[in-house]
Homo-oligomer: A and B are copies of this chain.
């Protein structure tokens, strides 16, 4: 395995387990058994290494997402959501492939307050998110735009938190977490019900 690939693999795992800011380049290069300066040579900087970690995996996932979305004719809310979630979830079935760690990293990065760090992931999903948001909105034509926006936020949050912690041990309050395929079904059930919920009391703006 090349130095570059060794760094990518170890960085992905350590970023996911301890967070980007809390992981030092010395941790990565020591565990990958390469020289400290190799990171700067191959990737330029720590933040560019993070970008490379995201770019490597999002390519095939996003391609499959678009394929699934384009294959739908007159899609409903569930089909759109499933087309977005399934391509990532199905890769969890390959143990040892690193996809579980990657998903964990995606989830935590999605909620990172640091704009520069979050941008490394957002630049990978910006185009695809726009396509899916647009198509999803079309399945809910009667929903007020501000309610739709709020609910998309809620779905994104539910997804991100699930990605980040669905396999985490330190969850004393919520036990008995099911298998990846079952989590996907639970997430789709939940998100469809949330997106299509009746609109309750309207609060006047201002």
Residues of chain A having any CB pair with chain B under 8 Å: 16-19, 21-22, 104-105, 107-108, 110-115, 117-118, 126, 129-130, 133, 145-147, 149-162, 164-166, 170, 172-179, 181-183, 185-203, 205-206
Contact = CB atoms under 8 A, between A and B. Distances in A.
Nearest to A196: B193
Nearest to A105: B113
A154 B18 contact: no
Contact of A149 (B146, B177, B198): B177
Complex copy number for this chain? 2
A194 B190 contact: yes
A47 B202 CA distance: 41
Contacts of A191: 154, 194
A190 B17 CA distance: 31
Nearest to A16: B113
Of the listed residues A19, A126, A179, A181, the one surrounded by the most CB atoms of chain B closer than 10 A to its CB is A19
A149 B164 contact: no
Contacts of A145: 175-176
A163 to B, nearest CB: 9
Nearest to A129: B173
Given A150-B186, A193-B193, 15 more contacts: A16-B113, A19-B21, A126-B172, A126-B173, A147-B178, A149-B175, A150-B190, A153-B177, A154-B186, A154-B187, A158-B158, A158-B161, A182-B205, A189-B199, A193-B198
Contacts of A133: 173-174
